[in-house]
Chains A and B, each alone.
Chain A
């Protein structure tokens, strides 16, 4: 095939690919938001004085990290209907991967919290500041800076994990490629194209985080 022929062959699929990429991006952002909520809650629960909260957090992290993400997706999408909760593939996917990533985020935040010297908490308490105030204004802002690189890795994993949602009929990049390949019988070309699109997205994420890190580096 000549270059022109290639181009003409690919052209009809470009809008579909772009839309599927866009969907991956949206999924990733939503999953990250969910994972931050679960992760922060679990990290604070683990550091809490209340034993029950600590136990729940420990169980959550243990369960999620010890089972495959794919099984977690299946439990939420195929399993929950048995309890009367039927979610759309999209919602189930965001929830499942958000809960999954949340366990890793919790561990990252925990490591970040333990990297803050005790004196930061104590000197704040000595000024009459309350726990919530200290967390929000003193501890977490420092934790954010420390954990940014690890959180970037986690976000990239999350982005790549969205391809698992092809198994529950979310038409993201991977499933879109599969449907085209099913009719064109060109797996090599289309999987390479798909890989390249994932690469563009993950590179974007890395750049974004490098920028955030630089912005944060004023006091290092």
Chain B
């Protein structure tokens, strides 16, 4: 795998908000077909990192290579991306957020076909076909003319994933996409993501679902205060952490998880 050119290559990427340096000289290669889970404490820079990949946040410095794009974010660089470059890059990278962010004034179908038609220039009939196929796949074909507010959180999040997939991206970014969901709706979203992973979609996913990261990802990256603390197969990173900080993080997550499920069980037991 290491001989082939990575799909995404990030070099020495830094990002500050005012005086606070949130990402410190991050380098990471992602090859086509890899499923990279990103874990780390709150505020360690996971979201900022994902948002730098499609340049929703502009890095202060560093290099980003993706497919045919090669951006140099060092101040004064001539290879800084133009607005059109960014649109083209984002059209190739799908992103799904914690809050589903569907457009409330458009039906499910309209949500899914908007960008394929108006950004990629896909003929309407083709976009509708594609959307219908994708919606059928997640079992929401009959909801295509509903407005998002008629859907459950899990359904909305799956439509948001489908909306990104309809652009036929080469890379998908997921930022804690199940965190806002009621516990009973988490499974349907995770299983859609697991399906995508199994089909070979290249994915970067920020998650607190350690079990899911272990089962689905091919690689786990631990973010620690703006740097990559550990990077390797989930079996090693999650089972045999090298650093004390990752050990602490994992045991904290585990306790929170146990506390949450104990709480859930207690609630369930009350009549």
Which A residues are closer than 8 A to B by beta carbons?
A: 117, 119-120, 122-130, 133, 137-138, 141-142, 145, 218-220
Contact of B105 among A122, A127, A133, A142 (CB under 8 A): A142
> Would you give the 0/1 interface string for B158-197, flagging 1 where the beta carbon is closer than 8 Å to chain A?
0010011001000000000000000000000000000000
- A123 contacts B101, CB within 8 Å? yes
B residues 63-104 touching A (CB-CB < 8 Å):
83, 87-95, 97, 99, 101-104
Which of A117, A123, A129 has the largest count of B CB atoms less than 10 A from its CB? A123
Q: How far is the CB of A212 from chain B (nearest CB, A)?
A: 14
Query: Which residues of chain B in 31-73 are interfacial with respect to chain A, using CB atoms and an 8 Å cutoff?
Result: 54, 56
Complex interface: stretch among B1-9, B114-122, B222-230, B259-267: B114-122
Asked if A123 and B160 sit within 8 Å, CB to CB, the answer is yes
What's the Cα separation between A178 and B270 when bound, in Å? 76
B99→A130 contact, CB < 8 A? no
Do A127 and B91 have beta carbons less than 8 Å apart? yes
| Pairs across A and B, CB under 8 Å, 26 listed | A119-B99, A120-B103, A122-B56, A122-B101, A123-B101, A123-B160, A124-B103, A125-B56, A125-B90, A126-B93, A126-B94, A127-B91, A127-B114, A128-B91, A128-B92, A128-B120, A129-B118, A130-B83, A133-B118, A142-B104, A142-B105, A219-B104, A219-B105, A219-B147, A219-B148, A220-B149
- Add 14 more A-B contacts to A127-B90, A129-B119, A218-B147 (CB < 8 A): A119-B101, A122-B101, A123-B102, A125-B90, A127-B114, A128-B89, A128-B115, A128-B120, A128-B167, A130-B87, A133-B119, A219-B147, A219-B149, A220-B149
CB distance from B171 to the nearest CB of A (A): 12
Inside 8 A of B88's CB, which chain A residues have their CB? 128
Say how far A215's CB is from chain B's closest CB, in angstroms.
Answer: 12
Q: Which residues of B contact A128 (CB under 8 A)?
A: 87-92, 115, 119-120, 167
Count of chain B residues near A, Cβ 8 A: 31
- Residues from chain B with a CB closer than 8 A to the CB of A218 are 147
In the assembled complex, which residues on chain B have CB atoms less than 8 Å from the CB atom of A142?
A: 103-105
Known: A129-B119, A219-B105. A117 touches B99 (CB 8 A): yes
Residues of A within 8 A of B163 (CB): 127
Contacts of A220 in B (CB 8 A): 149
Q: How far is the CA of A130 from the CA of B86 in the complex (A)?
A: 9
Do B114 and A137 touch across chains, with their CB atoms under 8 A apart?
Answer: yes
Among all A-B residue pairs, the 8 with the closest Cβ atoms:
A128-B91, A123-B101, A219-B147, A119-B101, A127-B115, A126-B95, A128-B90, A128-B119
Tell me whether B119 and A127 are in contact (CB under 8 A): yes
Partner of A127, one of B147, B149, B164: B164
Kindly list chain A residues whose C-beta atoms are within 8 Å of the C-beta of B102.
123
Least Cβ–Cβ distance between B211 and chain A, in angstroms: 27
Q: How far is the CB of A1 from chain B (nearest CB, A)?
A: 57
A141 near B160 (CB under 8 angstroms)?
A: no
Q: Point out the residues of chain A lying under 8 angstroms from B91, CB to CB.
A: 127-128
